[in-house]
Structure 1
Amino acid sequence: MCGFTCSITSTFEFRTLDPEGIIFYGDTKNGQDWFVLSLHDGIPEVQIGKANILVSVKGGPKLNDGVWHKLELRSEGKYVVVEINNKVELVVGMESDQTDDVMTGKIRLALGGMLVDQKRLLHPFNPEMDACIRAGIWLNLSTPWEAEPDWKPSPCFPEIKKGSYFPGSGLALFNTSDLPGVETEERGVTIEVYGSWHGTLLSLQSLDFQYILPRDKGKENRALAVELKEESGSSNAADSTKLTLTLLKHSLELNGETALEDESIDFLSRWKEGMSLAFGGVPGESEDSTSSHHLQGCLEKILIQGQDIDLDRASFKHTYISSHSCPANAVNELTES
C-alpha cells in the first residue's frame, strides 16, 4: 500500500457548527509521516509531517455553518489536494531530498482524533470536534472502524441549531481558576446561561461547600441548594430562558435576588483559588443516582464575565454532550416529555 506520494482519495460529507477541531487524520510508518485536516476559526487547515519536515496551510470557505459540505482529499504525486463542494480549495506541496522515498506498508485513518501526540503539530489546536460525517468512501477500506473503548456515537440530528445539547446524562466540568476571574469585588463573577432545559443546570463545589441549581430545598450545613420555580429553569414555550448567577464576596444572587448568604465563605477567593463548576449535573453522583437529575435541553449560550464558554475547553466532558449543536426541535422535546 502506498503513502502520500501515490494517488489515494477519500470523500465524505461533513456538517458542523464547531469552529475548531480535527476532521480527518491519516498516517504511514506507524505515525512517522502523517496528515491532518482540521478547522480553525471555521476555516480548513491542512498540516503534514514527513521526514522531520512540517507544513501547515489554511484557506477556503468557512465550513462551520451547519450545512452539509462534500469534501474530497486526494494525493497527486507530491501534492495533497482538498476539494470542497467540487471546487479545489487547498493544494499543499512538499519537496525535499528527505521526502523522495516511496512508502509501503499500512495506512491508518482516524476521524475526530489523532493517532500521534498533538505536540508534533506545527499549529496546535483543540482537537475536539462536534460534527457529523456521512457518505464516506475511505481509500479501499474493507475492515470496520475501531473505536476507543469509552467512545459512544452521538446521534446525528436531522437539523441543528447553535448551542450545547445535554441529552439527560453526563456533565461538563471546569476548574474556576481556568475561567474568567474577578474584575472588581463589587461586581463579582457573573454566569449567564441562555436556553431551554430541565434538570440540574450547574453545580459549584469546593472542599466544604456545595451549591446545586436547581435542587430540592432543605439541605443544611455546607451542602446548600436552591430550587428554581418551574418557569425559571424549564421551558414550556418556544422562548428561551435567561438565568444569571452572580457570585459576590459573601453571597450568591440568582436573577438579581439573594439566593444564598454566608459571611464565613469568601466566594470570590474560592473562585480564584479553584472550585469545581459543572454544567449538567453534580460531580461524583452516578448516572442512576436517585438524587441526580442530569440536564436535558439546549444551552444556547454560556457566558462568564461576558465571555463565551466553550464546553470543548472543559477539563472533563461526557461524550454524550454536543458542545456546539442542538437538535432544532430541542424545545419541542422538552415540551413533549
Structure 2
Amino acid sequence: LLLLLLLLLLLLLLLLLLLLLFHTTQPTTYTRYWSPISGSATVNLGQVQEAWRPLMQTMVNLTQISSIKSTFQFRTFDPEGVIFYGDTKNGLDWFILGLKGGFPLMQISKVDMLVSVAGGPRLNDGKWHTLEVSNHGQFVILDVDGSQGLVVGLRSKQTDEDLMGELRLALGGILINTDKMIVQFRPQMDGCVREGSWLNLTIPWETEADQIWPCYENIKPGSFFPGTGFAIFNASVFPTDTDQGIQIEFWGDFSQMDGTICSIKPDGQDVMFALVANNNTKEVTLTFGPDKLIMTESFSRLMVTFQTDALTVLHDGSEAARIAISPMSSPGYWSMWREGTLAIGGLLGEDDVGSQFLSGCLEKIQIQGKDLDLDLSTKHMLMSSHSCPV
C-alpha cells in the first residue's frame, strides 16, 4: 500500500512538471493596439519602424464608396519610398504609388495584368504638391498640381466582375508581399501627407504609433537626428583604397549639434574612432585610438581622411590636424573598414547598441565623395533621413 501511494505521488509530481513545462514553452503572443486617426490629418510617413509596414490604414465595404478619386498634399526631399497603397479581393488586385529617383511610380495588379509606369514631374523638391489619383473606366490617372502626370491604361480579356467585399487603404507601406511588384524599391519615405480626401470616405484610419511625428513648417535637405536614434552600416560595404585613403565628410552647423556624430568600431573590439559635438562648450572632439583632437573653431564642413600612415582632419578646407599611425597599429586600423561597423548619430557599444545620440542636422554626409543615404543602413530608427527642420 505504501509503495502504491509513493507511485501515485511520483505520477502527480511528473504530471505537474509536464504541465509547467508546457506552459512555459508556449510562444508569447503580442497584441497590436490601434488608435484612430483622421484621414485628413497631417502625418509624417518617415516614422515607420518596420520596413513596408504601413503607418496607417483603413478598411471599408465597397458598397460604401461613392467616389473613385483620392486627393492629398505631399512634400518630401526623399527620392524613393512608398506613399499610398490600396487593394481589393484581399490583395489580389492592388495599387501602389511611390517615388523612385524622385519621380512618381505607379504599379497596378488587376485580374490577369501587372503594370508599372513611372514619370511625370519630379516631386522630391521639398515643396507641397497636390496629388490626385482617380479611376476612369480602363484608365488610372495621376494628376500633379492640376496637371496630368501619369496615365495607365488597363484592358483585360477577362470579363469585369462586380466589385464585392472590402477595400483596404494604407499610407507609408503596403499590405502584399514585395515579390509581387514589377519594380523593386526601398520602402522608407521621409515625407509628409496632409489634407487627404480618400474616396470621399469619412471613416477614421488606424495607426499603431503612440503619436504622429510632426511635419515641420519649413524644411531643408539633410538628415535630422532628434537625439533618440542612429544609423548603422557595415563598414565593409564602402570601397577602401590603401593608396588614396578613405574620406568621410560632414556638412552642417556643428555649433548647433550635440552628441556623437560618427563612430567606428572594429569587430570584437572597442570603438576606434569617434566624432562628438558638445553644444554647451561649442567644441567638437575627435578621438582616434589613444589620440584626441579638440576643435573649438566654428566651421560648417569637416573632412576626415584615413590613410595608411596618418589620419588627416580638415575643416572648411583648412587642415586642423594630422595624426600619425604607427606601422604596428596599421593592420588593425584597416581591419575596422573590412570587418567593422560604422554608426552615424550615435556611439557604438556592445552588440552595436548605441548611446550618446546626436541632436542636430547633418546637411550632407559623404563617404569616398558619394552621398550617404541613411535609408541604406542595416538599422536606423527615430530620425529623418532626408529632411531637417529650419
TM-score range, shorter chain: 0.7 to 0.9
Aligned to 1:208: 269
Which residue in 2 is equivalent to 1:133? 193
Q: How does 1:42-191 map to 2 (within 5 A)?
A: 42-98=102-158, 100-148=160-208, 153-179=212-238, 181-183=239-241, 185-191=242-248
- The answer to whether the 8 A contact 1:249-1:266 is kept is no
Counterpart CA distance in 2 for 1:37 and 1:49 is 12
The residue type equivalent to 1:208 in the other structure is: Q
- Partners of 1:283 and 1:144 in 2: how far apart? 41
Equivalent-residue separation in structure 1 for 2:231 and 2:225 (angstroms):
10
Q: What is the match of residue 261 of structure 1?
A: 325
Whole-Å Cα distance in 1 between the matches of residues 290 and 230 of structure 2?
20
2:294 matched to which residue of 1?
Answer: 228
The amino acid of 2:364's aligned partner reads K
In the other structure, the counterpart of 1:241 is: 300
Distance of 1:126 and 1:187 partners within structure 2? 32
Matched residue type, 1:276: T
Please give the alpha-carbon distance, in whole angstroms, between the structure 1 residues aligned to 2:142 and 2:77. 20
- Within a 5 Å distance, the mapping from 1:300-315 to structure 2 comes to 300-315=363-378
- Summarize the Cα distance change of 1:224–1:142 in structure 2 as closer, same or farther, 3 Å threshold: farther
Aligned partners of 2:161, 2:122: CA distance in 1, in Å? Answer: 35
Name stretches of at least 5 consecutive residues in structure 2 with no aligned partner. Answer: 1-60, 279-287
The alpha-carbon deviation at position 215 of structure 1 amounts to 7.7
Q: Tell me what 1:18 maps to.
A: 78
Per the alignment, in what secondary structure is the counterpart of residue 201 of structure 1?
strand
TM-aligned CA deviation for residue 93 of structure 1? 1.6
8 Å contact kept, 1:190–1:246: yes
Structure with a larger share of its residues in helix: 2
Cα distance in 2 for partners of 1:80, 1:70 equals 17
Q: If the length of structure 1 is used for normalisation, what is the TM-score?
A: 0.82
Contact 2:112–2:156 (8 Å) recurs in 1:
no
SS at match of 1:97: coil
Distance 1:254 1:126, change over 3 A: same
Listed one character per residue, the Cα deviations across residues 245-289 of structure 1 (whole Å, up to 9, x for unaligned) are 2222365433352347352343334313x311111112458xxx9
Change (3 A) 1:324 1:106: same
The question of whether the paired residues in 2 share the 8 Å contact of 1:6 and 1:76 is answered with: no
CA drift at 1:7: 5.3
Q: Secondary structure at the match of 1:92?
A: strand
1:273-312 matches, within 5 Å, as 274-284=339-349, 292-312=355-375
Once the 2 structures are TM-superposed, how far is the Cα of residue 143 of structure 1 from its aligned partner?
3.8
1:68-116 deviations in Å (ceiling 9; x for gaps): 1111111112221111111222111211124622332111111111111
Q: Residue 267 of structure 1 aligns to which amino acid in structure 2?
A: Y
Give secondary structure in 1 for the equivalent of 2:252: strand
Matching residue's letter, 1:182: T
CA-CA distance at 1:158 after TM superposition:
0.6
* Structure 1 residues 182 and 86: alpha-carbon distance in aligned structure 2, compared to 1, 3 A threshold: same
1:42 deviation in Å? 1.3
Asked if 1 retains the 8 angstrom alpha-carbon contact of 2:258 and 2:277, the reply is no
Amino acid at match of 1:327: P
| Separation (CA, whole Å) in 2 of partners of 1:99 and 1:130 | 40
Q: 1:51 to 1:226 in 2, by over 3 A?
A: farther
Secondary structure of 1:209's counterpart equals coil
Instruction: Calculate the aligned-residue CA RMSD, in Å.
Output: 2.8
Alignment check: 8 A CA contact 1:214 1:226 kept: no
Task: State whether residues 6 and 77 of structure 1, in contact with CA within 8 Å, keep that contact through their aligned partners in structure 2.
Answer: no
Q: Could you give the per-residue CA deviations for residues 178-208 of structure 1, whole angstroms, max 9, x where no partner exists? A: 23x113x121111011112232101111211
Letter in 2 for 1:278: A
Taking only the aligned residue pairs, the percentage that are identical comes to: 44
Q: Partners of 1:202 and 1:99 in 2: how far apart? A: 58
- Judging changes above 3 Å, is the alpha-carbon distance between structure 1 residues 57 and 215 closer, same or farther for their aligned structure 2 residues? closer
| Mapped partners of 1:242, 1:208: distance in 2 | 29
Q: TM-score, normalised by structure 2?
A: 0.71
Q: Deviations over 1:204-248 (max 9, x none)?
A: 1121131221289xxxxx9767453243xxx6xxxx611112222
The count of corresponding residues between Structure 1 and Structure 2 is 307
- Unpaired segments ≥5 residues, structure 1: 217-221, 329-337
- More off after superposition, 204-213 vs 154-163: 204-213
